[in-house]
């Protein structure tokens, strides 16, 4: 009980540790914040993990990469936790007779490290009561020499005819994965919400060591029950649709 009272006075318990996952390019740091309410119950948990790049490895500009992450807002964990705590207190949640704990987790993960590109995924899950939580994943592609974010047009070829070809390949994969593969099926019959039943390629994608994964968040194009919609394409399938100077070509 003394621990709970102390935690309430401080408003938050915090712990920090180095995750065992590390290599010559980065190590993963993780931690969590907890808020204990006036009843002495844990009311909010906020956990996170993210890479810290090696600033002594000459193969990458670790300092620039770390600066990008810290300045991008992706690592504003303390601020986001304080916002949750403020929402909880403003809504007087500890006066309500229910047992739900608010929670959020943020995980930034390194998917691939190459001479021309570092690929990250940023995933979150949160639950603030209700029927279910929310979650999502976004891809982040960085230049390892400058720490700068690659734009999509530095990776994909947006020439109209070429991009239309990519859209067609991705739509076929979507139909194969979630339907029978037949072009005669309406996308709406498969549970998707594309306007006028016309497939739109997501601008959000991951780059892994095997290829691309185009992502749609829950509720973006389909009901929550369908989850995170993923369209995987191999490097061989993607090669005709990449920008001529695309750094991804060095992964293969």
Give the pLDDT confidence of 213-242 residue by residue, as tens digits: 999 999 999 999 999 999 999 999 999 999
The CATH number of 152-250 is 3.90.640.20
pLDDT tens digits, 136-163: 999 999 999 999 999 999 999 999 999 9
Residue whose tokens read 């230049």: 143
Residue 37 has a pLDDT of 85
Using pLDDT thresholds of 50, 70 and 90, give the confidence band for residue 97.
low
Helix (H) or strand (E) holding 68: helix 62-71
Using pLDDT thresholds of 50, 70 and 90, give the confidence band for residue 99.
low
CA distance 89 to 37: 9
Buried b (16+ CB within 10 A) or exposed e, 141-167: bbbbbebeebeeebbbbeeeeeeeebe
pLDDT higher for 167 or 247?
A: 167
Contact 144, 61 (CB under 8 A): yes
How much is the average pLDDT of 19-44? 83
CA distance 139 to 158: 18
Asked whether the predicted pLDDT for residue 191 surpasses 80, the reply is: yes
Taking the whole predicted model, whether its pTM rises above 0.75 is answered as: yes
Contact 207, 113 (CB under 8 A): no
Using pLDDT thresholds of 50, 70 and 90, give the confidence band for residue 73.
very high
Delimit the domains of the chain by residue range. 2-111, 152-250
Q: What is the mean pLDDT of the chain?
A: 87
Using pLDDT thresholds of 50, 70 and 90, give the confidence band for residue 245.
confident
Contact 60, 147 (CB under 8 A): no
């Amino acid at each position: 009980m003394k621990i709970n009272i102390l935690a309430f006075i401080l408003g938050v318990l915090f712990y920090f540790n180095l995750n065992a996952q590390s290599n010559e390019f980065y190590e993963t740091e993780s931690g969590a914040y907890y808020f204990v309410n006036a009843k002495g119950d844990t009311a909010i948990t906020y956990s996170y993990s993210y890479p810290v790049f090696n600033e002594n490895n000459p193969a990458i500009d670790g300092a620039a990469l770390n600066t990008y992450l810290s300045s991008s807002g992706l690592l504003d964990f303390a601020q986001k936790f304080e916002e949750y705590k403020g929402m909880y207190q403003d809504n007087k949640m500890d006066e309500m007779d229910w047992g739900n704990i608010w929670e959020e987790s943020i995980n930034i993960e390194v998917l691939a490290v190459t001479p021309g590109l570092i690929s990250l995924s940023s995933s979150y899950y949160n639950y603030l009561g209700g029927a279910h939580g929310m979650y999502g994943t976004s891809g982040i592609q960085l230049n390892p020499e400058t720490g700068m974010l690659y734009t999509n047009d530095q990776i994909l070829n947006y020439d109209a005819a070429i991009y239309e070809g990519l859209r067609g390949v991705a739509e076929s994969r979507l139909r194969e994965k979630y339907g029978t593969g037949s072009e005669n099926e309406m996308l709406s019959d498969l549970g998707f919400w594309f306007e006028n039943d016309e497939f739109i390629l997501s601008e959000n994608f991951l780059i892994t060591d095997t290829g691309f994964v185009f992502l749609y968040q829950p509720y973006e194009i389909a009901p929550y029950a369908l989850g995170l919609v993923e369209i995987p394409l191999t490097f061989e399938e993607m090669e005709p649709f990449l920008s001529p100077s695309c750094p991804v070509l060095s992964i293969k």
